[in-house]
Structure 1
């Protein structure tokens, strides 16, 4: 090959890589726009009758976070969903059902006050049981596909505030619903473009 042919081949390859980078940037922009729209939709349906302390919605790059104060969902030390909680979860489930391309992780958080009951050894148990209680309501009451649901317990180890005050402990007791893109679908999209 001549030097001229090598340069042309290199420029062609660079052009293809540039097109691929632009494709990825558009995909990321689209995903981010969809997350912002999803966050806005959630704020509009969940803010009715609730304060910012009760429910917080945050959009951070690839995920949407819905943090729900435990006082809306559970009685102290319990993992049994309250009737008020089902009203909140129904609104969340309606939005989730309309977004089948998302996975849903439910994380339970506690304060650092020790708990020990006949069915719970510690705050790890409480956080996981609360998470699975929310998962079961989403699946059984609102027909969210179980293959989309992930239960996680965080216990006391990721506090929002200090556990030294009553207010801080109250903020730390929460359930967070994380709406995430199915990464396998995103990677399949990228792979199909490479080929």
Structure 2
């Protein structure tokens, strides 16, 4: 049950983010749907390849495909009613998708008996993979590579689950809430990871 809830939450949140990016870039109708589906399911595809699972498992999620289609269709039909709230709550939906998918990926890797490092990588790629593909296709610098803290929260989910500290459903939902809050706090206070110093060429020296 926990797995399915997180799957629905993450898929919906990332489908919304993909639709908004496409509509802001003035994509045509097909482009909006394609970017939405890629964003919603891209992270799961990358995770399956990493863990040696059949990519065809994605095609068994017919209910989620219908859900994404319905959500994106609402955005297309009612853009003014939806885009304005998104401008205010966009980071919140993205935080929900990141947290839900990161936990989901970590749970799948942990239940398959993989090592801690594999659980962390699965959490990170599942949580950020769809967003990376979305940004690349939209010609944007991927959010995960920007200054603000983003992927670190997915790594935290992998550590917590990989270490066996989160096993009960209530603890999983609590971790989900904590990750969303941390992501939003990092956005509000503009938390950033330090940058390495630029390497100057010998000619400049």
Q: Which structure shows the bigger proportion of residues in helix conformation? A: 2
Give the strand-richer structure, 1 or 2: 1
So what's the TM-score if we normalise by structure 2? 0.28
* Higher gyration radius (CA): 1
